[in-house]
């Protein structure tokens, strides 16, 4: 599994406040089967601003500590960019992409996507970036009108859902919205958004719950196959239900019925 959204780079945002805590979370991740993680520190003008060199130095340090402690998880650079009119400039200046891909993780005002949301987003799309909206289920406007997610996808925005949302950790309304996004096929990535405030575990619980409530293929796509495409900078399909093996199965059944009647 590949966790594309967590705040485990220590002392750079509101996530992990020490290297020890980060290492403990990384150990739990590795033990549970997470092979790679994008350490998506907040990048929010006026709150969390830093030079890319500072981020990279911290990342190198954490990688080295993980290695020394025998934690075999691969750590990739990443950022959670708070969208604003100058986001494109920041992204280009500090290279705020997920790893070496064209994907970028973006967030906005949780009280509701602001009226200039698309205005701020289009310049990024025009430059070839592939935006992923972080924890879409936590925006009041999407909670009130979950079909808005469909509009986002039509406008080439990918949707990421937090594992904790599926478990109800952000409240009932967020939980319901997260499940609706999943059930409608309007989510492309499941991630932890872990801030090292509690032992890493919600991600695994959510994966298990998805297996029982939906099927095993959805968590496989959202935690492994699609995130792996980010690592390879390949395009994640906006619609993916058609990929399900059931369609192949039905086609095969139809063929054999034809053969049974006429063959
Ligand atoms: Fe986050």
Please, is 141 exposed, middle or buried when counting C-beta atoms within 10 Å of its C-beta (0-12, 13-18, 19+)?
middle
User: From CA 218, how far away is CA 223, in angstroms rounded?
Assistant: 8
Instruction: Please state which of the four CATH numbers 3.40.50.300, 3.20.20.140, 3.40.605.10, 1.10.1840.10 is assigned to the domain occupying 2-262.
Output: 3.20.20.140
Instruction: Write out pLDDT tens, residues 234-263.
Output: 999 999 876 655 554 444 555 566 666 665
pLDDT reported for residue 257: 63
| Ligand 1 centre distance from Cα of residue 209 (Å) | 22
pLDDT reported for residue 241: 72
What residue spans define the domains of the chain?
2-262
> Is there a contact between 35 and 74 (Cβ–Cβ < 8 Å)?
yes
pLDDT reported for residue 243: 62
pLDDT reported for residue 240: 86
pLDDT reported for residue 260: 63
| Ligand 1 centre distance from Cα of residue 258 (Å) | 52
Reduced to 3 states (helix: H, G, I; strand: E, B; else coil), residue 17 is coil
| Ligand 1 centre distance from Cα of residue 42 (Å) | 7
Q: List the strands of the sheet with 103-107, edge to edge.
A: 2-6, 36-43, 74-82, 103-107, 130-133, 158-162, 189-191
**What stretches in the chain show pLDDT beneath 70?**
242-263
> Is there a contact between 212 and 184 (Cβ–Cβ < 8 Å)?
no
């Amino acid at each position: 599994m590949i966790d594309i959204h967590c705040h485990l780079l220590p002392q750079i945002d509101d996530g992990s406040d020490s290297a020890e805590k980060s290492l403990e979370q990384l150990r739990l991740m590795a033990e549970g089967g997470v092979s790679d993680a994008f350490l998506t520190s907040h990048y929010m003008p006026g709150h969390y601003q830093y030079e890319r060199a500072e981020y990279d130095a911290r990342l190198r340090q954490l990688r080295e500590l993980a290695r020394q402690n025998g934690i075999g998880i691969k750590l990739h650079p990443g950022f959670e960019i708070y969208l604003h009119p100058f986001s494109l400039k920041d992204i280009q200046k500090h290279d705020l992409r997920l790893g070496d891909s064209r994907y970028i993780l973006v967030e906005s005002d949780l009280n509701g996507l602001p009226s200039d949301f698309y205005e701020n987003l289009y310049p990024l799309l025009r430059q070839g970036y592939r935006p992923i909206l972080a924890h879409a289920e936590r925006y009041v406007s999407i909670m009130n009108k979950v079909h808005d997610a469909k509009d986002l996808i039509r406008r080439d925005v990918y949707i990421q859902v937090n594992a904790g949302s599926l478990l109800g950790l952000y409240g009932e309304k967020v939980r319901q919205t997260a499940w609706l996004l999943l059930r409608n096929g309007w989510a492309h990535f499941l991630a932890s958004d872990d801030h090292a405030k509690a032992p890493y575990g919600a991600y695994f619980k959510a994966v298990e719950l998805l297996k029982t409530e939906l099927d095993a293929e959805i968590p496989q796509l959202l935690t492994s196959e699609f995130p792996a495409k980010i690592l390879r900078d390949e395009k994640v399909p906006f619609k993916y239900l058609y990929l399900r093996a059931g369609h192949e199965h039905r086609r095969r059944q139809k063929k054999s019925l034809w053969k049974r009647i006429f063959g």
